[in-house]
Amino acid sequence: MKIDNPKIIPKDAESRRKGSPVICYPTHALTNKNLELLISARSAMKKVKELLIPPRDATCFEIPAGCFFRICSVDGPQVGDLNLWSTHDLSEKFYSGKTRALHGTHLSTGDRMWSTFPFMRPLVTITHDTLDWYGWDTDGASVHDVIGTRCDPYTAKLLTNIDYHYCCHSNLTRALAKYCNISYGEAEAFVHDVLNVFMCTGFTHDTHQYFMKASPVRPGDYIEFYAEIDLIGGLSTCPGGDCSTEHSSDKAECYPLLVEFFSCQSPKLDLYPNSLPSEYSISHKD
Ligand SMILES: [Zn+2]
C-alpha cells in the first residue's frame, strides 16, 4: 500500500512524475514471422486423444513437440491453472514473470509461453483463442492472465488460517508427483506460476490490487497451443470454478476441463523452425 502523506511529498514531485513510459522490452525482435505457417497448418489437424480433468483436481500429460492441444470448457464455466515443463528436464519450466514482461499481463493468439533461464525459449505458441473477442473490459480486466501465480494452501493459511488441500498448487503437486513417480516434496519444487486459463482478472483502478471476476468462458470455448518442444503439461481445475466469488474453498461450483490433442501432418510445419535454447554464453563475465 502506498502511503498518502502530504508531509513527505517533495516540492518537485510533479516534475518527477512527468517522465514518459518506455516499454521495457520492445518486442519487434520477438515477432513470430512464422505464425502464419502455424495458423495455416491448423487445417491439417487431426484429433488423436482427449483427457478430462475432474473438478478440483489436476492431471499431468505428455505433449509431443509439433502437436497442437486445446483446453476446452465443458459442462460449465471453469478456470484452469496450466504448468508446462520440458519432458527432458523438469528444471526447464514456464517462466510466467518473463512472459508477462514480454507479452503483457494477459495472453492471446500469437503470444508464446517462455521457459526459465538459461533456456529461455518458446515452450508453446497460442494458435487460437475463442475468447479473443473479450479484449479489455471497463474494469481493465481480460482473460488468460500471467499475473496471479496460482491459488495455494500457504496463502490460504496466512489469510484465513484454514488448511485447504485442493488449491491449484496442491493439485498440480499431486499430479506431477504421480506422473513422474516422485514424492510430493520433490514435485512441489517444480510447480510454478501458471497461465490462468479462462480466468478474468485485472488490477483495480484505485488501489491496483489483483482482482478476479466471473469468467466469460462457456462450454465450447477453447484456447489452443502449438507445442514447440516435448512437454509435460499439468492442468488444475481451480476450486474457484469461474472465480466469480472465492477460491481456496469448496464453496464455488466447479466443472471439469477437457484437454484435446491433435497431430498435424502439414508440410508447412516442416518449414517451421525448431525452438532452440538461448544462445547467451552463460559466462556472466566480460
Ligand atoms: Zn486455483
Run means of pLDDT, 10 residues per run, the chain, 286 residues: 82 93 85 92 97 97 98 97 98 98 96 98 98 98 96 95 96 98 98 98 95 97 98 97 86 95 95 95 90
C-alpha of residue 104 to centroid of ligand 1, in Å: 21
Query: Residue holding cell 523452425?
Result: 273
What's the pLDDT score for residue 248?
A: 76
C-alpha of residue 272 to centroid of ligand 1, in Å: 34
> E-strand spans in 168-256?
195-203, 210-213, 222-227, 231-237
C-alpha of residue 165 to centroid of ligand 1, in Å: 11
The three three-digit cell numbers of residue 141, written as one number: 480486466
What's the pLDDT score for residue 67?
A: 97
Tell me if 284 sits within 8 A of 92, measured CB to CB.
Answer: no
What's the pLDDT score for residue 246?
A: 82
What's the pLDDT score for residue 178?
A: 98
Please, how many CA atoms are within 13 Å of residue 165, restricted to the half-sphere of its CB?
A: 3
C-alpha of residue 80 to centroid of ligand 1, in Å: 7
C-alpha of residue 43 to centroid of ligand 1, in Å: 33
d(CA 204, CA 149): 17
d(CA 231, CA 94): 10
d(CA 120, CA 215): 30
C-alpha of residue 23 to centroid of ligand 1, in Å: 30
What's the pLDDT score for residue 87?
A: 98
Tell me if 233 sits within 8 A of 64, measured CB to CB.
Answer: no
Which value, in Å, is the radius of gyration of the alpha carbons in the chain? 20
| Helices and strands per DSSP (H, E), number in the chain | 6, 13
d(CA 92, CA 90): 5
C-alpha of residue 119 to centroid of ligand 1, in Å: 27
Q: DSSP assignment, residue 106? A: B
What's the pLDDT score for residue 8?
A: 85
Tell me if 232 sits within 8 A of 58, measured CB to CB.
Answer: no
Single out the residue of 251, 193, 235, 238 nearest to residue 212, CA to CA: 238
